């Protein structure tokens, strides 16, 4: 395959830049009587799911193998006990560093997990022939962070006078969350005589403000991350980032069959160019996803190709634009269910209905997880000439990764990271 990429981040002088990370993980169960049970030595793998377009919370799924006494102890104390989870990043080494060493910062430190699903099953009898009276069980527990659960339990109910959407958002978050939030300023700065916050939790409140009053022109993305919350626009072409982070992530997709470049995987912080870099020895998978259906306030609307006229009603207002295609149902008018004069919902609706997309599934292993967040812009470049049409800017749609156990250590268990990132490229 022809190598079309020629830059400093693939030549031999820069191979030492890319690092691989493992994670030292601890999972502690504390019963209501204060008895402690270290569980990391029983873990097979840990799966983490971040679906930024469909869910608000990440899910942590832990799979373990436990004996019958341990299973009973865990099961009986599940409701009143407490799970504490920690993951510490370990730098495995780079081209000029063969020794592993512990990073000073933890990815997660003693966060409390709340179990939302608990399943167990008998391990295959062939694995327990020596002890048929006390067999082992596979135990799968799905968790969410207790902080997320508590934030979403707070019920907001208030009428705010002579104010704007930004103040309503600030009021809502101050009342409900207990960690930092990356909050993008709204597009809507209209002053309202009254802004009503119905009796809802924070997730439903933000959805209500977006659909009823309007926050962002391009739709709302709300996500509760491990280390902070995100309330941002769906459009990340101009990323909103904290002062301590860079807005862009450059991902180089290296053809694993190309012998002219290094095909190892890794990541590093490129301070010189104010960006993050990830190298992946794979072409990934490309999934076409032409948008033909959208849900508007819970109602499914089908968009037809080559529609010449668009007629949309919202409240007392009516929009007709013959140049906007793919908008209207055949011989029907499309209604947006809102009583407000809300151009922000309208703009988001028009933008979504006119666009299509495709998704790029990228495998990851041992990369720096702090790089991969929903507020950044991802610039993906292929070294394979056949894939050049897929070069460009993407937004992060979903992350799924597993911590697979490597070996036990004195203060936890060493896990390697493998998973996939799903990026979406919007075609306007």
Give me the pLDDT at residue 265, please.
79
Does residue 375 lie within any of the structural domains?
no
Give me the pLDDT at residue 396, please.
92
Does residue 425 lie within any of the structural domains?
no
Q: Are residues 53 and 142 in the same domain?
A: yes
- Using left for φ > 0, alpha for ψ between -120 and 50, and beta otherwise, residue 311 falls in beta
Domain end position, chosen among 81, 114, 146: 146
Q: Are residues 79 and 99 in the same domain?
A: yes
- In order of 45, 62, 140, 297, the CA distances from 65 in angstroms are 10, 10, 9, 44
Quick check: helix, strand or coil at residue 377?
strand
Give me the pLDDT at residue 305, please.
33
Place of tokens 């960006």: 275
Give me the pLDDT at residue 92, please.
67
pLDDT above 90 coverage of the chain, percent: 32
Q: Are residues 82 and 167 in the same domain?
A: no
Q: Which residues in the chain come in under a pLDDT of 50?
A: 1-16, 94-105, 125-130, 290-339, 410-411
Q: Are residues 134 and 199 in the same domain?
A: no
Does residue 97 lie within any of the structural domains?
yes
Give me the pLDDT at residue 317, please.
33
Q: Are residues 142 and 156 in the same domain?
A: no
User: In terms of residue numbers, what domain contains 33?
Assistant: 25-146
**Number of domains composing the chain:** 3
Domain end position, chosen among 208, 233, 258: 233
Place of tokens 């793998």: 45
Strands (E), 179-219: 181-183, 192-200
Question: HSE (CB half, 13 Å, CA atoms) of 114?
Answer: 11
DSSP letter at 8?
T
Q: Are residues 30 and 85 in the same domain?
A: yes
Q: Are residues 217 and 312 in the same domain?
A: no
Q: Are residues 205 and 306 in the same domain?
A: no
Domain end position, chosen among 105, 128, 146: 146
CATH number at residue 95: 2.40.10
Does residue 45 lie within any of the structural domains?
yes
**Residue 339 burial (C-beta neighbours within 10 Å; 0-12, 13-18, 19+):** exposed
Give me the pLDDT at residue 298, please.
36
Give me the pLDDT at residue 61, please.
93
Q: Are residues 29 and 129 in the same domain?
A: yes
Does residue 1 lie within any of the structural domains?
no
Give me the pLDDT at residue 79, please.
83
Give me the pLDDT at residue 4, please.
30
Quick check: helix, strand or coil at residue 37?
strand
Q: Are residues 81 and 120 in the same domain?
A: yes
């Amino acid at each position: 395959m022809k190598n079309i990429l020629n830059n400093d981040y693939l030549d031999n002088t820069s191979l030492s830049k890319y690092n691989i990370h493992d994670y030292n993980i601890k999972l502690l169960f504390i019963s209501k009587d204060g008895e402690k049970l270290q569980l990391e030595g029983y873990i097979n793998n840990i799966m983490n799911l971040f679906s930024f377009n469909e869910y608000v919370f990440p899910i942590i799924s832990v799979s373990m193998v436990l004996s019958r006494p341990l299973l009973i102890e865990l099961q009986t104390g599940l409701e009143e006990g407490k799970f504490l989870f920690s993951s510490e990043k370990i730098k495995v080494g780079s081209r000029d560093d063969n020794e592993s060493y512990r990073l000073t910062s933890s990815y997660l430190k003693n966060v409390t997990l709340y179990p939302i699903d608990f399943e167990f099953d008998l391990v295959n009898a062939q694995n327990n022939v020596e002890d048929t009276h006390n067999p082992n069980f596979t135990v799968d527990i799905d968790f969410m962070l207790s902080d997320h659960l508590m934030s979403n339990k707070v019920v907001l109910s208030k009428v705010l006078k002579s104010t704007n959407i930004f103040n309503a958002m600030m009021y809502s978050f101050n009342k409900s969350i207990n960690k930092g939030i990356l909050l993008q300023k709204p597009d809507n700065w209209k002053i309202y005589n009254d802004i009503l916050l119905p009796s809802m939790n924070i997730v439903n409140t933000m959805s209500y403000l977006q659909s009823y009053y309007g926050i962002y022109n391009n739709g709302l993305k709300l996500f509760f991350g491990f280390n902070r919350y995100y309330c941002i626009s769906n459009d990340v072409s101009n990323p909103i980032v904290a002062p301590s982070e860079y807005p862009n992530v450059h991902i180089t997709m290296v053809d694993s069959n190309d012998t002219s470049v290094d095909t190892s995987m890794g990541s590093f912080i490129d301070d010189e160019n104010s960006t993050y870099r990830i190298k992946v020895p794979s072409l990934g998978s490309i999934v076409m996803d032409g948008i033909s259906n959208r849900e508007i306030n819970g109602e499914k609307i089908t968009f037809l190709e080559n529609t010449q006229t668009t007629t949309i009603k919202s409240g007392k207002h009516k929009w007709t634009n013959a140049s906007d295609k793919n908008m209207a149902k055949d011989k029907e008018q499309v209604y947006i269910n809102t009583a407000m004069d809300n151009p922000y919902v309208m703009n988001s609706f028009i933008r979504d209905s006119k666009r299509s997309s495709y998704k790029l599934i990228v495998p990851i292993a041992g990369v720096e997880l702090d790089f991969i967040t929903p507020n950044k812009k991802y610039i993906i470049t292929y070294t394979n000439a056949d894939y050049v049409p897929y070069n460009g800017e993407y937004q992060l749609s979903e992350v799924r990764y597993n911590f697979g156990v490597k070996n036990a250590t004195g203060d936890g268990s060493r896990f390697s990271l493998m998973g996939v990132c799903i990026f979406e490229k919007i075609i306007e």
